[in-house]
């Protein structure tokens, strides 16, 4: 009988020890109540609880948590109804406030997110809503973070997962995108044709310039050749005059040369010729000499 009692005592001691000793895991916290009132918060490690006096009211995870809320209907400023679902990343920073601040904190965050989202989207038009995700995310996070401070919750990030406008709006947007792509394609084609025509015109222009430069260069070279020829002729004439002057010709030679020049002039197309007196005298002399030679030849016959 005594052995049975001893065994019961040992079992009761073990049960009491198990109920008394509590180990809090890493990244967790226990909210402890004594006589139904908040007593303390246990952090990571070994803790002793007084049976029937102390009670673990709530075990809280201090890890960052992710909650994916279902799509919420919202109406934009231009009266377009769409479905938006959000993802909230939050972390518990004060286990006591989390345990006593609000009933069902996750549900409270979901409702607060939905109302905040409706307020923000209600001030935006559809196009602005679709292109302003970062702005909407930031606004929702700031509002949620301020509201959840009293619940011991820190909202780290809010993301709009999907934005689903009505089907007819999606069809209109697809048509608009298709029209925009076609417009850009036409613009690119027109720019290509314009560039091609410009290059062709520039090619014609350069060809015309090169042709004009070639004609110009030819004329310049011809003019230079003619100028050199004239210079050569004038130089030869000047050299001949110089040689003639150096020879010191008599007046008869000069008169004879003048007569030769007169003969050349007479063979031309001039209708009126003025003969200098010196040449006239020389012509008379030449005529007399010719008559003398003619009479002599007759006498010889």
In the predicted structure, residue 70 carries a pLDDT above the cut 80:
yes
Q: How confident is the model at residue 289 (pLDDT cuts 50, 70, 90)?
A: very low
pLDDT in tens, 97-130: 999 988 889 999 999 999 999 999 999 888 888 8
Q: What is the pLDDT of residue 154?
A: 94
| CA neighbor of 49 nearest in space, from 13, 19, 8 | 19
Mean pLDDT on 38-47 = 92
Which DSSP string corresponds to 111-174?
Answer: HHHHHHHHHHHTTS-HHHHHT-HHHHHHHHHHHHHHHGGGGTEEEEEEEEEEEE--HHHHHHHH
223 or 3, which is more confident?
A: 223
For Cα atoms 267, 230, 228, give the angle at the middle one, nearest 5 degrees.
155
Phi and psi of 281, rounded to 5°?
Answer: -60, -45
Q: What is the pLDDT of residue 268?
A: 52
Domain parsing of the chain, residue ranges: 18-60, 64-165, 170-248, 250-300
Q: How confident is the model at residue 296 (pLDDT cuts 50, 70, 90)?
A: very low
Q: Which CATH architecture has domain 64-165?
A: 2-Layer Sandwich (3.30)
| CA neighbor of 108 nearest in space, from 120, 97, 124 | 97
Q: How confident is the model at residue 269 (pLDDT cuts 50, 70, 90)?
A: low
pTM of the model: 0.56
Measured CA to CA in angstroms, residue 75 lies from 111, 121, 273, 289 at distances of 17, 7, 115, 136
pLDDT in tens, 192-220: 888 888 988 888 888 889 888 888 888 88
Mean pLDDT of the chain: 80
DSSP lists the bridge partners of residue 38 as 33
Q: How confident is the model at residue 26 (pLDDT cuts 50, 70, 90)?
A: very high
């Amino acid at each position: 009988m005594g052995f049975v009692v001893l065994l019961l005592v040992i079992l009761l001691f073990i049960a009491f020890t198990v109920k008394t000793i509590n180990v809090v895991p890493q990244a967790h916290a226990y909210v402890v109540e004594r006589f139904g009132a908040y007593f303390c918060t246990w952090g990571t490690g070994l803790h002793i609880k007084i049976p029937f006096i102390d009670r673990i009211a709530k075990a809280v995870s201090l890890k960052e948590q992710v909650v994916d809320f279902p799509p919420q209907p919202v109406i934009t400023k231009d009266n377009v109804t769409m479905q938006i679902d959000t993802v909230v990343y939050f972390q518990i920073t004060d286990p006591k406030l989390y345990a006593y601040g609000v009933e069902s904190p996750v549900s409270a965050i979901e409702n607060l997110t939905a109302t905040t989202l409706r307020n923000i989207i209600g001030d935006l038009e559809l196009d602005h809503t679709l292109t302003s995700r970062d702005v909407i995310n930031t606004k929702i996070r700031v509002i949620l973070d301020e509201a959840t401070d009293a619940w011991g919750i820190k909202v780290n990030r809010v993301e709009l997962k999907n934005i689903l406008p009505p089907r007819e709006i999606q069809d209109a947007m697809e048509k608009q995108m298709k029209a925009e792509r076609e417009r850009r394609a036409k613009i690119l084609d027109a720019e290509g044709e314009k560039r091609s025509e410009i290059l062709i015109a520039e090619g014609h222009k350069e060809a015309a310039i090169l042709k004009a430069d070639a004609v110009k260069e030819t004329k310049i070279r011809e003019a230079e050749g003619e100028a050199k020829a004239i210079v050569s002729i004038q130089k030869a004439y000047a050299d001949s005059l110089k040689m003639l002057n150096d020879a010191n010709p008599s007046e008869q030679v000069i008169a004879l040369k003048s007569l030769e020049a007169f003969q050349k002039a007479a063979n031309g197309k001039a209708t009126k010729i003025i003969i200098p007196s010196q040449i006239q005298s020389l012509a008379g002399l030449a005529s007399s000499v010719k008559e003398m030679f003619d009479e002599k030849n007759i006498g010889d016959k």
